[in-house]
Structure 1
Amino acid sequence: MTSFLRSDRSRPVAIWLFIVAAMVFAMVVVGGATRLTDSGLSITEWKPIMGALPPMSEQAWRESFELYKQIPQYQLVNPDMSLEAFKGIFWWEWAHRLLGRVVGMAFAIPFVVFLIRKDIPRRLIWRCAAMLGLGGLQGLIGWWMVSSGLSERVSVAPERLMTHLGLALALFVVLIWTALDAWNGSPRVEERSPWRVWALAFLGAVFFQSLLGALVAGNDAGLVYNDWPLMNGRWFPSDYVGAGFWGTLAHSQAAVQFNHRIFAYALLVAAILMAVVAKRDRLLVADAKGIAVAVAVVVCLQAVLGVWTLVAAVPISLGVVHQAGAAVLLAVATSFAWRVRRP
């Protein structure tokens, strides 16, 4: 029989949130594959309900293909594309949108059930409600992103891609943090050590680096300057400056790749220093030290993978794994930032 008093912790709620976080991770991976296969503009309409069904007849497939033929990507990039080739890119985008719908239901339905049963710790209700709202907003932002590539561009606007990926990763972080809170309950006392600030700052830096990576992806900047550690034989690219301040930061291929590289070096150094200092800190609990070391290991692996992906000119497999690696790093950094708040 369900108690009318809310507990401060709930293992079922935590498991639910961890599962949804795993589904968001899958969304990030499928989204990366959709981008790398240039599939994101294959569905030119936004139908939140009816769009859940793919074309069910040959005539419906031809109608969808005709809609795709009206956008610049087909006319300027794929004018010789066949119907069968179109089906290939269509399925990637359809799978991405379907997974988004499934994630929405996997969050909304249990949320309502847990609310009715009073299983969600009271202090976490507002956070779960906010995540539900942001999840709905993500669908709108996804269409806002896609619409930028339907009229005057052959791909989506990089800053809109950055916003779409950024919101997905933000939800991923909050899901993990809230799941940890639900699993463990409120801390008896909160740790007041400087690690609270440093760990959160590092988590923010990882998130920012992920946004820089989205700009690299949105500009196809991984297809240029494929040497390392130099950029076409130079330490600083000659064409760094673009058309104005925003044109440089968000649309210059040289600038976005250079910025992503430099910030990666800073993160690598910071992660290694953080792990070394954490191991030597006698006041830090053992499992927090272990997570700090894990963060450094994942950062090193991600850096090596990033260089490999670049010099190989971003094959789909490496590009997808590199994007997945960013999400894994965010998850580990989130766990560390959460753990150091507790003695």
Structure 2
Amino acid sequence: MRQKRSIFQEVDTPEAGRVKPAGGMIDAGRRGARRGIRLWLMVLFALVVVMIAVGGLTRLTDSGLSITEWRPLTGALPPLNAADWQAEFERYQAIPQFSAQHSWMGLEDFKVIYWWEWGHRQLGRVIGLVWAIGFFGFLAARQIPAGWTGRLLLLGVLGGLQGAVGWWMVHSGLGGDRTAVASYRLATHLGLAFVILGFIAWYMMLLARPERELMQARRAREARLFGIGTGWLHFAFLQILIGALVAGIDAGRSYAEWPLMGGGLWPPQMMVIEPWWRNFFENAGTVQFIHRMTGYALLAFSVMALLRGRRSAYVATRSAFTVAFAAVLAQVVLGIVTVLLAAPWHVAILHQFLAVIVWVLILRARLHAGYPPAQSVRGT
């Protein structure tokens, strides 16, 4: 016989038989190993930064052409005996750089520049391996959050492309009358490294916050300030590319004076190379002049970005734009010091490293404009 129930009695199904409601897309975006993936991206970020530094030192030591073949797999092994070393040295002796600049080298001298280039390539292989282990590991464990598989795969595709671009760059210096790689190919190689670094940094910053919080923050986006951050990022990227052109022809060691160049506002003989367009890639005075002028323009744009950023309603956004501007200002000052000292290698590398910091801090300011962190009415 059915017993009477009190009007206060629970009539819900037992806990064991209760079916939990399925989450929506926002909840799905929160699932997955967000923290683990972010830690993996941090390792990749650190490796790419080291890669950029090692690449700069490889260029400054004239080591980039010491390995004249591209062997993605077997090239991981260095010469293992005297005969192998001699064969590598003979291949290097056959390219124009050796006869024009390094004809004084013996085998032991060659080994120094060889290890720089081998280390640079080996680090690239390590980065590829770390990416592959992380990506396929998270994929196999089904721990990649919804919507993130394509983004993380993109990093691997860009990394593979970077390896091909690196060889395309090196190949430009192996024949003809060249004694160094083509500066525009060096700029492409460095530019792609910063693109990869930018994607990694952006993903790290996004993964630091829950998906639901990001979607809520996006509704508060300061569209105009976000656009300024985007333009600021592109402007900085342009200056990085021009800096690579400067590095490619050692233009930073010409005209070690400031603010003038050769006693004038612009250097003499700016357009002496024929055809005229080659001056923008191969004329040291012209390339350094463009780098200076672009630096001044970037600083002016940065002042405007700072003033607009300081008007943000969000404390964190105002702070992010201020810090990014301070980094740009420090980079301009360091650039002037680099010129005055004729670009010694340790100062040049510091200048390149600070470019990485500027790049990431502008990205961070852009993120804060696009996804403002929540704050109380007191602004905290």
- TM bucket, shorter chain: over 0.9
Aligned length: 339
- 2:47 maps to what in 1? 23
- 2:30 maps to what in 1? 8
Within the alignment, does 1:238 sit opposite 2:268 as a pair? yes
Which residue of the other structure, out of 192, 209, 215, is the alignment partner of 1:187?
215
Question: Percentage identity across aligned positions?
Answer: 38
Q: Deviations over 1:5-24 (max 9, x none)?
A: 84436111112112211111
Q: Distance in 2 between the 1:251 and 1:131 partners?
A: 32
- 2:248 maps to what in 1? 218
Within the alignment, does 1:256 sit opposite 2:287 as a pair? yes
Within the alignment, does 1:300 sit opposite 2:329 as a pair? yes
- 1:167 maps to what in 2? 192
What's the TM-score once normalised by structure 1's chain length? 0.95
- 1:139 maps to what in 2? 163
Matches within 5 A, 1:1-343: 6-8=28-30, 10-152=34-176, 153-184=178-209, 185=211, 186-190=214-218, 191-241=221-271, 242-279=273-310, 281-283=311-313, 285-343=314-372
Change (3 A) 1:66 1:296: same
Change (3 A) 1:64 1:315: same
The 8 Å contact of residues 165 and 214 in structure 1, kept in 2 or not, is answered as yes
The 8 Å contact of residues 236 and 298 in structure 2, kept in 1 or not, is answered as yes
Shift, 1:197, TM fit: 0.3
Q: Deviations over 1:95-146 (max 9, x none)?
A: 1001000011111111011112222222221121122111101111100100
Give the number of the structure with larger relative contact order, counting CA–CA contacts within 8 Å between residues 6 or more apart.
Answer: 1
Helix, strand or coil for the counterpart of 2:59? Answer: helix
Shift, 1:273, TM fit: 3.3
Change (3 A) 1:231 1:7: same
Q: Distance in 1 between the 2:204 and 2:190 partners?
A: 21
Amino acid at match of 1:309: T
Shift, 1:270, TM fit: 2.2
CA RMSD of aligned residues (A): 1.7
Shift, 1:336, TM fit: 1.0
Amino acid at match of 2:250: D
Amino acid at match of 1:210: I
Shift, 1:289, TM fit: 1.4
Q: Deviations over 1:198-251 (max 9, x none)?
A: 001001111110000000011111121111110011101222224235312222
Q: Distance in 2 between the 1:54 and 1:99 partners?
A: 13
Helix, strand or coil for the counterpart of 1:188? Answer: helix
The 8 Å contact of residues 232 and 305 in structure 2, kept in 1 or not, is answered as no
Amino acid at match of 1:224: S
What's the TM-score once normalised by structure 2's chain length? 0.86
Q: Distance in 2 between the 1:95 and 1:224 partners?
A: 29
Q: Distance in 2 between the 1:193 and 1:340 partners?
A: 7
Shift, 1:278, TM fit: 2.1
Q: Distance in 2 between the 1:252 and 1:122 partners?
A: 50
Q: Distance in 2 between the 1:183 and 1:98 partners?
A: 30
Q: Distance in 1 between the 2:285 and 2:291 partners?
A: 10
Amino acid at match of 1:166: G
Amino acid at match of 2:246: V
